[in-house]
Amino acid sequence: MKALAAFVMRGPSQAALVAAATALLSILVPPLGLLSAGSIGLVALRNGPVYGLLVSAAATLGMGIIAWVALGSPLAALGVLLMLWMPILALALMLRYSRSLALTIQAAGALGVLLVLVVYATTGDPSATWLQILEPFRDVLVKDGVLDDPSSAALFAELAGWMTGAFAAALVAQLLFGLFIARWWQAQLYNPGGFGEEFRDLRLGRAFGVLVALLLALLPFGEGASLAANLLLVPGVLLVFQGLAVAHQVRALKQARQAWLVGLYVLVVFFMPQALLLIACIGLVDIWADIRSRVAPSAPPPGQSGPGA
């Protein structure tokens, strides 16, 4: 990965090549889209807005030409530019100038919340639109005998109600993973170990915690996948990252083995909904309780030497 980051930083043509190629390959292997976002984020973090815009424009042009030849339309490149490269460019520049990972992550969350509100304001009932989009998949499941018609109708109606918040949360998660890759690459090249320290110190603001508490308080007043429930999915992503930051910092403070974190991520993979909910709860508690400072060893009193001095 360090070699790929070094190749991206050789020049704008190399960066555009990696961004466009990984974006195209993500059609077959979706995780490669994160490398595309990371490439744009890295050049913006290191070289600023002009360089970032230049690479984004070159990548869009290159991908547009290939999409035009292969698909007959350059719209795929425009979609990637608007949904991935421009947001990651904005977040990378915010991180470059603010030097605050927490502020940048909360800005990404604000974009996700805004997206949910705009969808609800413009469609009135987004679940009906999602139900139309999901209908072909339901038909396939019914024809294959996986589900019968009545149960599939109920299942997909419930699923459609959550799709707006889930889509916004997934988009925010994708942008943040791309940003983290960019910051990690930057640290590997110019500041080894810097990203790990920055991530372990991640702490969302109490104003963010108040917003989450308000959304939780509104849940009993809605039925099922209400607006508040869909909105809550977006800050939930941010709380997961804070919970993971707590886990990484506690492991570092306790000098525990790396296998402890490996076990945590294995639990996330095999028990994803429950594990992510637990980690998000830890992140929310940390906003108010500051778990990391409670775990950190206390400094010796003035005039006293620490152990082994």
Q: Which two tokens stand for residue 220?
A: 């009993």
Residue type, 4: L
Phi, psi of 169 (to 5 degrees): -65, -40
Is 305 inside a domain boundary? no
Residue 232 lies in a domain: yes
Q: What share of the chain is helix, strand, coil (3-state, %, to 5)?
A: 80, 0, 20
Residues 124 and 207 in one domain: yes
- The last residue of one of the domains, among 53, 81, 99, is 99
Last residue of a domain, one of 81, 99, 117: 99
Quick one: 60 and 117 in the same domain? no
> Quick one: pLDDT at residue 298?
62
206 and 117 assigned to the same domain: yes
| Domain final residue pick, 99, 114, 131 | 99
Q: Is residue 57 in some structural domain?
A: yes
CB 58 within 8 A of CB 12: yes
Predicted pLDDT of residue 199: 94
Residue 156 within a domain: yes
Q: Position 91: which residue type?
A: L
Same domain for 270 and 288, yes or no, is yes
Give me the phi and psi of 69, to 5 degrees please.
-70, -45
Other CB atoms within 10 Å distance of the CB of residue 88:
31
Residue 303 inside a domain? The answer is no
Residue 309 domain-assigned (yes or no): no
pLDDT the model gives residue 302: 55
Query: What's at 153, amino acid-wise?
Result: A
Q: Are residues 49 and 145 in the same domain?
A: no
CA atoms 276, 277, 280, 282: torsion sign: negative
Number of domains in the chain: 2
Answer yes or no: do 88 and 156 share one domain.
Answer: no
First to last CA, the chain: 41
Position 58 scores a pLDDT of 94
Q: What three-state secondary structure class fits 249?
A: helix
Selection from 222, 233, 291 nearest residue 116 by Cα: 233
pLDDT in tens, the chain (309 residues): 889 999 999 999 999 999 999 998 888 898 899 999 999 999 999 999 999 999 999 999 999 998 888 777 788 888 899 999 999 999 999 999 999 999 999 999 999 999 999 999 998 788 888 888 888 888 877 777 767 777 778 888 888 888 999 999 999 999 999 999 999 999 999 999 899 999 999 999 899 999 999 998 988 877 767 888 899 999 999 999 999 999 999 998 888 888 888 898 998 888 888 899 999 999 999 999 888 888 777 655 555 544 443
Same-domain status, 168 and 20? no
Question: In terms of domains, do 85 and 120 share one?
Answer: no
CA 91 from centre of chain: 11
Token pair 């980051």 in the structure block, residue: 5
Say whether both 94 and 109 belong to one domain.
no
248 exposed, middle or buried (CB, 10 Å; 0-12, 13-18, 19+)?
buried
Q: Mark whether 179 and 280 lie in a shared domain.
A: yes
CA distance 32 to 38: 10
Domain limits for position 47: 1-99
Q: How far apart are CA 198 and CA 180, in angstroms?
A: 10
CA dihedral in degrees (210, 216, 219, 220; nearest 10)? -110
Same domain, 92 and 137: no
Residue 245 and residue 138 share a domain:
yes
Residue 163 in contact with residue 130, Cβ under 8 Å? yes
Residue at 306 is within a domain: no
Residue 309: predicted pLDDT: 32
What's the pLDDT score for residue 299? 53
Q: Within a domain: residue 308?
A: no
Asked if 233 and 165 touch (Cβ cutoff 8 Å), the reply is: yes
